[in-house]
Amino acid sequence: MDAAPRFDLNTTVHQAHIASQKLATLPHLQRNQLLQCLAQILQDRQDDLLEANTMDLEVSRDLAIPASVLNWLKLAPERLQTMGLMLNRLAAMPDPLAMMTQPSAFIVASGYAQATPRGVISFIYEAFPDLALLLAGMCWKTGNALLLKGGVETQHSNQVVTELLQAALEKVDLPESCVQSIPCERTPSIGDLVSGELPIDLVIPYGRPSLVQQVVQQSTLPTVTSVMGNCYLFWSDSGSTEMARSMIINSHQGAPDAVNAIEKVLLTPNIKQSRLTLLWSSLKEKGFELRGDATLAAEFPELILATKEEWQQPYLQKIVAFRVVDDLADGLNWINRHSSHHADCLVTDSYQDSQQFVQGINSAHIFVNTSPQFMRRSSGPGGSLAFSMSPVNSFAPGVISLDTLMTSKQIIQPA
């Protein structure tokens, strides 16, 4: 039997670059038809994807993959049906490339700014096989080509996902190079993909911090630093215990990833012990593991001592660590030094405290007396087609959305 042809990364990326130029000029109606076609193919081949996903789950258990990653990996009919609805919703949205805004304030002339595709998007991820479908839809809506590099734990699922994407492209007579899947084996490595002079316009890593950090550290290309978890809650003396409880619990209910999970809670010495024990008891009933700083762990033996490193790292599990700070100003200083800066929270009945928190916190999203729970929905209030959160950076802060996949060009003309 002949050996499989050797994968050529350079050729693959340049083919994607050529395809992105064709996608960029594709009429909006045809881009929408492509999305609708993908939604229908997903519905028709749902069983194939679920069967492949079952194989991945069996292999991953043998590889001792963490429970949190298995949860991200595990597909269900409802999850795929929601994805189909989201693709159809994408198709029904206005053309993002038709957006026109005012030119830069630094340009003293009349004109406008035109939204344009970035070009080639590289998605490097672990688990979440359905997110490859969503990002492909978002790329097609915005006229971008997509490179997919999943992990070994999703090998079978990703193969079917790639087949679905390429079947949709074939049905509307577009080249398969509009979406290309890069082997999950060692070669080519992540370093090969994100460094060098390849015509890749944006890199999006998604998964555990170890993967994201690996990509960010090696990348010489524009990269979005996606983050999950390690969100902070400051529990003001005047804040409701029930509000704090519901915000923590709801924040851990992701679909399937709890992007905005509250994993750290700051409180002042004035919080009564009875309120603490009531909250802790309720959280334990919901299956949470509780940890504390040296002060709390010494006073309450039921708390596990949190290490110094934990305060700036996500758990990505149902774990919450509590820490005593002097006051709100001390809490703000701690959060600004240790949180992930994408979603931080406050529980208070004090208007003055809420204003001080909002003005002093360095976070893309600030939640005051409301849950930061992040859900992907196909419709409804608060629904979002975004698939992650990111800290404030050179791209749109917070949600990774259609805007993240576009840039703009300034068109200046005589008045």
Residues 182 and 165 in one domain: yes
Question: 36-54: per-residue pLDDT in tens?
Answer: 999 999 999 999 999 999 9
Q: Is residue 31 part of a domain?
A: yes
4-41 confidence digits (pLDDT tens): 567 889 999 999 999 999 999 999 999 999 999 999 99
Domain identity same for 158 and 256 = no
Q: Are residue 204 and residue 290 in the same domain, yes or no?
A: no
Q: Domain for residue 172, yes or no?
A: yes
**Per-residue pLDDT, 305:** 97
Rg (CA), the chain: 23
241 & 124 share domain: no
Q: Is residue 389 part of a domain?
A: no
222 and 235 co-located in one domain: no
Higher pLDDT, 384 or 183: 183
Half-sphere exposure of 162 (CA within 13 A, CB side): 19
18 Rama sector, left if φ>0, alpha if ψ -120 to 50, beta otherwise: alpha
Token pair of 309 as six digits: 């490193």
Looking at the domain assignment, is residue 272 inside a domain? Answer: yes
Q: Are residues 291 and 145 in the same domain?
A: no
One-letter identity of residue 26: L
Q: Is 178 left (phi over 0), alpha (psi -120 to 50) or beta?
A: alpha
pLDDT tens-place string over residues 327-363:
999 999 999 999 988 899 999 999 999 999 999 999 8
Does the pLDDT value for residue 376 go beyond 70? no
**Is there a single domain that holds both residue 61 and residue 173?**
yes
Whether the Cβ atoms of residue 138 and residue 91 lie closer than 8 Å to each other: no
pLDDT of 268 reads: 95
Q: What is the CATH number of the domain that holds 152?
A: 3.40.605.10
217 and 235 both lie in a single domain: no
Residue 109: the pLDDT is: 58
Domain count, the chain: 2
Three-state secondary structure call for residue 42:
helix
314 shares a domain with 197 = no
Question: Same structural domain for residues 187 and 331?
Answer: no
Please give the residue range of the domain that contains residue 139. 12-226+400-412
323 and 211 in a common domain = no
- If asked whether residues 151 and 24 sit together in one domain, one would say yes
